[in-house]
Amino acid sequence: MPFVYSSFIDHLAALPADHARHGDALRAIVELQVRRPSNADLSAFLFLPDQADHPDHEDAAQVFAQAVEQIYGPKPWVGDEIPLLFVGYHAMNRLSGRRTAQGLLLTDQALYMQDDFTVLFASPPPAQGHALPMRADDAGAFVSMLLGRYKAWKDWAAVAGRPESALSNRLNVLLDAVVTTVLDYHAQHASQRQAPQRTWTLTGLIADHAASDNLLDPANPKLAKKLGKVIGKFQITPDEPMQFALVDFPLFGGPYGLALTAKALYSKDLMEEPVRVGLERLDALSLRLAEKGDEVLNDQGIPLQLPKYASAELKVSFVELLKQEVLRLQASV
């Protein structure tokens, strides 16, 4: 049954009481941030729950409701979330006349991004929910990372009548402030949640992203030659069985990227010497994708290189698999 959002009050009434009790307070603090005079230049793209006094759109409440149904409804990150802010606009399908919400939707637990619109299909694929960081200090990097991945700046800039860089910078400032406010609230009320832990598999990741040429599984005998090149170039010793590697094979310089063995993470940039980080030194939960998506950052301060041409979606999932497997290997020692 399709998800239906009628009003903020009705939505809260349908949530479990321990989640719903935060709704009014969160809506109030987000609204306070959004209504600051400094955000007046973005007003045409800012929509709050049940908003009846929007300066640019009489149907603002409907715009917000439609964004919630289209962006959050099909694939919630953790579920029972409280929609707080839609930042975006509507695109119209020329064949069906159907309006599709484009932009970013903030709930109390995640930030959803929808930038995949085409006139050839009735609706875009479900938006992906990105869990809010656990610390307010990380809000800026989190927002910058997502806006850096947004693909439809050209269309949005045309609607806004301003350069892409100016628009993205303004939205960065706004969303940084709003997400920080929400995270500060969570810190005070212990109201931030985590989705059930997903079990990632190497074979599943390879299949999902058609990545058998770059995400190497040592169990695949057809990859023996490629794996041998990685072991040699990364200077991996025979006593460290390889678990997997995400690498690229350019014409010159040999393979580069990141490999996990039973004892360490190995990384090699193109034409550079490899680096090794022993798992005993590493906090697995500190592993995270750099803002530019080219490295895996960690608590040791040693950037670990990722292949340049791997897709952003593959890199995000790869880092989650990496965390999971590092934790498993550390626990087995």
Q: What is the pLDDT of residue 120?
A: 45
Chain mean pLDDT for the chain: 90
- pLDDT at position 131 over 70: yes
Q: What is the pLDDT of residue 323?
A: 92
Handedness of CA 309, 311, 315, 318 (dihedral sign): negative
What single letter denotes the amino acid at residue 32? L
Q: What is the pLDDT of residue 94?
A: 60
* 300: its two tokens: 């040791």
Q: What is the mean pLDDT of residues 254-276?
A: 95
- Other CB atoms within 10 Å distance of the CB of residue 113: 21
Percent with pLDDT over 70 in the chain: 94
Q: What is the mean pLDDT of residues 177-191?
A: 96
| Buried b / exposed e along 167-192 (16+ C-beta atoms within 10 A) | bbebbbebbbbbbbbbbebbeeeebb
Q: What is the mean pLDDT of residues 43-70?
A: 94
What single letter denotes the amino acid at residue 25? A
- Other CB atoms within 10 Å distance of the CB of residue 333: 8
Q: In what order do the strands lie in the sheet with 215-216?
A: 215-216, 242-248, 256-261, 264-268, 275-278
What is the per-residue pLDDT across 75-91, written as a single tens digit (0 to 9) for each? 898 999 999 999 999 87
pLDDT band, very low/low/confident/very high, at 309 (cuts 50, 70, 90) = confident
Prediction pTM value: 0.66
Q: What is the mean pLDDT of residues 31-52?
A: 95
CA distances from 174 to 37, 86, 148 (A): 12, 12, 15
Q: What is the pLDDT of residue 37?
A: 95
Contact 89, 83 (CB under 8 A): no
- pLDDT at position 229 over 80: yes
Contact 93, 119 (CB under 8 A): yes
Q: What is the mean pLDDT of residues 121-144?
A: 81
Q: What is the mean pLDDT of residues 274-289?
A: 91
pLDDT band, very low/low/confident/very high, at 124 (cuts 50, 70, 90) = low
**Closest to 122 (Cα-Cα) out of 101, 102, 93, 89:** 93
Percent with pLDDT over 90 in the chain: 65
Exposed, middle or buried, 243 (CB in 10 Å: 0-12/13-18/19+)?
buried
Distance between CA atoms of residues 147 and 154, nearest Å = 13
Q: What is the pLDDT of residue 200?
A: 86
**Closest to 179 (Cα-Cα) out of 146, 215, 152:** 146
CA distances from 110 to 39, 147, 185, 243, 273 (A): 22, 14, 14, 31, 39
- pLDDT at position 194 over 90: no
Handedness of CA 73, 76, 78, 83 (dihedral sign): negative
